[in-house]
Amino acid sequence: MEETKDKEIHELLLLLDKAAKEMISYGNQTTFSYFDTCEDVGIYIQNIIQKIRNGEFGEISKLWYIFAPTSVWDDSGGSQEIANEIFEIVNRKYPPE
């Protein structure tokens, strides 16, 4: 059971890293969300990645609001494939309360 969770967290971290890099690569491009730029979205994701790596899982459910369909990720022009994979994990294991 623990091994499965570790594998899932590892997979999630890899996907989040791709997502953060994608958003940061868009730089100061405006996003139609509560973030000013795509880079801000990427930095936010990086901050959550760091917390997860430090064993802090309290904010992982906030990813739901980033990657849910028609949410921040879509409003920022992110890759649909990455969003779907991340949302599948987050929605199943870490939905908001």
**Which residue range is the domain that position 60 belongs to?**
2-93
Domain count, the chain: 1
Q: What letter would DSSP give residue 60?
A: G
Q: Is the pLDDT of residue 26 over 60?
A: yes
More confident residue, 8 or 3: 8
Q: Is the pLDDT of residue 54 over 90?
A: yes
Which band of pLDDT confidence, cut at 50, 70 and 90, is reported for residue 2?
low
Gap between the Cα atoms of 65 and 96, Å rounded: 8
Average pLDDT of 57-71?
Answer: 92
pLDDT of residue 76: 92
pLDDT of residue 43: 97
Nearest 5°: phi and psi at 77? 80, 25
